[in-house]
Amino acid sequence: MPDMSANLAQAVLLAKELDEDKVTPGVLGFIVFAALAVGVWFLMKSMNRHMGRVSFDESPDPKTAPAEGEAPKA
DSSP secondary structure, the chain, as one string: -HHHHHHHHHHHHHHHHHHHT----HHHHHHHHHHHHHHHHHHHHHHHHHHHH---PPPPPTTTSPPTTSPPP-
Instruction: Write down the pLDDT at residue 73.
Output: 60
> Which of the four pLDDT bands, split at 50, 70 and 90, describes residue 23?
confident
pLDDT tens figures, 34-65: 999 999 999 999 999 999 888 877 777 777 76
Chain-wide mean pLDDT for the chain?
A: 79
pLDDT band at 1 (very low <50, low <70, confident <90, very high): very low
